[in-house]
Structure 1
Amino acid sequence: MSRIVLGVAGGIAAYKACELLRRLTESGHEVTVVPTAAALNFVGAATWEALSGRRVHTGVFSATDQVNHVRLGREADLVFVAPATADLLARGATGRADDLLTNVLLTASCPVVMAPAMHTEMWQHPATRANVATLRERGVLVVDPAAGRLTGADSGPGRLPEAAELATIAGTVLEDPTILGRGRDLAGRRVVISAGGTREPLDPVRYIGNNSSGRMGIALARAARLRGAEVTLVLAHTEEDAPSGVGIERVASTADLDAAMARMAPGADIVVMAVAAADFAAREPAGAKIKKDGSGTLTLDLVETTDVLAHLGRERVGSRPVLVGFAAETPRCAEELIALGRTKLERKGADLLVVNDVGDGRIFGQPDTSISILGPDGVIAEGQGSKERCAHVVLDAAARVPAR
């Protein structure tokens, strides 16, 4: 069980922190809420206490016998501020200690994550930009806000990401605090990631598909965005929500995927093909629903679809983009998995190939994974744990690929 301090600043988005609090507590964490005085104008202390099951303190002179202004920061495994207003960002960046939350920020030796929420003009103001840069230089993970509906009729960047996304980020940082050390190492880079599973129609109601959930590709998009990249997610079928702040290109079939990737890859610095593309399609999809004819069998005439990763490898000019492929295999042993991966890496023309064993219901649709990353000289990295954590391992490897 991890100890989390959930800081809540005084913005209308404070109501979203209630759902974040519920998600964190239901995940087994011990959460202490520290709202600012302004935050209590939006959500009262009774709500925070009921949802957290813990006493809420709002001032440095509350529970002075426990020395809360120092103890909370020292004992926390994570300090997560959502929403972080422009005012709180400014006070945090300048080292103010004028309320309990800013004291916690000054005494915390654990990872600190801040999720800003404010009107677009405030987010884009040079003062706010400077404060965010200062906090990031000090190792604080400042999550870029989402774009969308704000207070009133306003719309634009400055919206607090949804609670599910923030809870995912919190869980990833707790699992692997070294993620904060990456900082904004992908700033200025364009990253294109494919995710989900393509579908090939057999008739108007049936299709050939696969069990991919899209979670790995979505985790990669979120990780790249956190690290400052400009991210486009080429998204096939998935029931998962895409992360905020990334461009979305929807595709259905493998042919759609091939066209989208051919269009986007030349302008990218890194391309990650995490999609599970259907390998076969009907030669001639039926124009009407295929009916049972009483024979008890159905014969399908299938053809291979385009190998999109190999296509990208053949068409690549020079050393960019860095090309990362994925290979889901069902080997008999670990040695066979690596052997299959090495053969496929050479055939596809990629820089790196991420291989995993998906046999016996592993990996597909699951929150955790186990990966080996192959380069020209063999296994260069391995990862195990949540797909969010392993996404950073993949991006680490891609960022280290030298120019050819």
Structure 2
Amino acid sequence: MQQLSNKRIVLGVTGGIAAYKSAELVRLLTKLGADVRVVMTSAACEFITPLTLQALSHNPVHLDLLDTKAEAAMGHIELARWADVVLVAPATADFIARLAGGHADDLLTTLCLATSAPICLAPAMNQGMWRDSVTQQNCEELLERNIKMFGPGDGSQACGDIGPGRMLDPELIVEKTSELFTHDILTGLNVLITAGGTREDIDPVRYISNHSSGKMGYAIAEAAIESGATVTLISGPVNLDTPDRVTRVDVLSARDMHQAVHDRIEGVDIFIGCAAVSDYRPAEVAKEKIKKDPENGSETLEIKLVRNPDIIASVTGLDTPPFVVGFAAETHNVLGYAADKMRRKKMNLVVANDVADRDIGFSSDSNEVTVIGEELEEPLPRASKKVVSRKLLQIVARRFRKWKHLQSTTETADQP
């Protein structure tokens, strides 16, 4: 159930005896990598303490609609926007009735009205209350509004009755929640991405760089998060906001980026080198600003350049390298140069990009690329960089699975 890795879950707890199960539910969700924020009704606090759920979720518990501290930090609207899913467990008959009626008289009902995330309820009540026609009508109303019902289960109840109305076991609720995210093609994987250009100092006020805006790398990072991955983005200087849920590491030079990559490469499943890394740097950096020489009237300035470390080649050269995807930004013979680069640097895939076309080159919002691999040459037609990134990751995920399967098969065959 790795689908819950990196997912944001608002867990609503309402006032029923089954609230004691919410503690185990929080524990299981966080164990699977979910970020859980608990919202409790006042009645829920009579059955289980907020402190218990805070300790298990590692996050403050939200209680009041008009809590000054909560509104200053993450108010009900921000909490509604934050969630990937709102899960209410247990959901009492009273809560179901208020939600069906569109009430907004506490924090939980208010955020349910405000959120665009899926809402899932795990009903928990006496069997007579569950069978009541009003409860059934309320549930039908909620189902018509695409609110999902997890259960209830059938069996003995705290009141001594036997019948439908039990809250499902936490393990089953977690399983059903996990199924909401089964489309995530990179679920549970660690992805490391480089983006943007690098700067190589000439003197304290000047540097060598390139036209990279970082937009493609940032779009890939955002798409990888959407696909369920845990993402670290090592970025050169750009004017872009960090994608939500991405860990960003800022660097300046190619050597800085090389060091940052190798500091974080352990445990990475997929490495995507999208950054436009400077191939060369000045052999020496002047300690003071270089001035024009008025005496000899020279019209030229010579700067000796030396090679920077090759980040892609250093990653593919590791004893146990991750799956490596590189980019080839070319102005002519694009596919030929890209294929050669892939072979020389032993990459699994290379993305060929014609940067001579300004509509799809540096700083543009669109792109058009060709993905090249072993017995693969797949063009991705012109579209926004977000769309291209999603299509690219579909290819990456497919190839990664084949690569991983081949590795495991080879390891098995090598065993005595």
TM-score scaled to structure 1, two decimals? 0.59
Aligned partner of 1:254: which letter? A
Aligned partner of 1:379: which letter? E
Counterpart in the other structure of 2:353: 356
Counterpart in the other structure of 2:391: 393
Counterpart in the other structure of 1:164: none
Structure 1 pair 128–359 and aligned structure 2 pair: CA distance change class (3 A)? farther
Output the CA distance in 1 between the equivalents of 2:102 and 2:369.
43
Shift of 1:132: 7.4
Shift of 1:259: 1.4
Counterpart in the other structure of 1:82: 115
Q: How does 1:176-191 map to 2 (within 5 A)?
A: 183-191=183-191
Shift of 1:128: 9.4
Output the CA distance in 1 between the equivalents of 2:256 and 2:171.
39
Q: How does 1:130-169 map to 2 (within 5 A)?
A: 134=176, 137-138=179-180
Output the CA distance in 1 between the equivalents of 2:106 and 2:299.
67
Shift of 1:89: 3.8
The gaps in structure 2 that reach 5 residues or longer are 1-11, 13-38, 40-64, 66-70, 83-100, 124-135, 149-167, 408-416
Counterpart in the other structure of 1:346: 343
Matched, 1:306 2:312: no
Larger radius of gyration: 2
Give the number of equivalent residue pairs.
278
Q: 8 Å contact 2:334–2:354 — kept in the other structure? A: yes
Output the CA distance in 2 between the equivalents of 1:287 and 1:39.
65
Aligned partner of 1:217: which letter? G
Q: How does 1:4-403 map to 2 (within 5 A)?
A: 13=75, 15=77, 37-38=103-104, 82=115, 84=117, 88-90=119-121, 103-105=144-146, 134=176, 137-138=179-180, 183-294=183-294, 295-317=298-320, 320-331=321-332, 336-361=333-358, 362-380=360-378, 382-401=380-399, 402=403, 403=406
Structure 1 pair 339–246 and aligned structure 2 pair: CA distance change class (3 A)? same
Output the CA distance in 1 between the equivalents of 2:191 and 2:254.
20
Output the CA distance in 2 between the equivalents of 1:346 and 1:252.
28
Shift of 1:233: 1.2
Instruction: Kindly report the root-mean-square deviation, in angstroms, between the aligned alpha carbons of the 2 structures.
Output: 3.8
Output the CA distance in 2 between the equivalents of 1:386 and 1:100.
39
Output the CA distance in 2 between the equivalents of 1:235 and 1:192.
11
Helix, strand or coil for the counterpart of 1:228?
A: coil
Counterpart in the other structure of 1:64: none
Helix, strand or coil for the counterpart of 2:115?
A: strand
After superposition, the C-alpha distances for 1:170-214 in whole angstroms (9 at most, x for unaligned) are xxxxxxxxxxxx722322211111111111111111111111111
Output the CA distance in 1 between the equivalents of 2:336 and 2:171.
48
Helix, strand or coil for the counterpart of 1:359?
A: coil
Structure 1 pair 297–103 and aligned structure 2 pair: CA distance change class (3 A)? farther
Helix, strand or coil for the counterpart of 1:202?
A: strand
Aligned partner of 2:372: which letter? L
Shift of 1:382: 2.7
Shift of 1:90: 2.8
Structure 1 pair 339–39 and aligned structure 2 pair: CA distance change class (3 A)? farther
Structure 1 pair 257–338 and aligned structure 2 pair: CA distance change class (3 A)? same
Helix, strand or coil for the counterpart of 2:329?
A: strand
Output the CA distance in 2 between the equivalents of 1:378 and 1:346.
13
Output the CA distance in 2 between the equivalents of 1:282 and 1:186.
40
Counterpart in the other structure of 1:67: none
Aligned partner of 1:359: which letter? A
Output the CA distance in 1 between the equivalents of 2:383 and 2:365.
8
- Percent of residue pairs identical: 31
Shift of 1:127: 8.8
The gaps in structure 1 that reach 5 residues or longer are 1-8, 21-34, 45-57, 59-80, 108-125, 142-181
Aligned partner of 1:300: which letter? I
Aligned partner of 1:90: which letter? L
TM-score scaled to structure 2, two decimals? 0.57
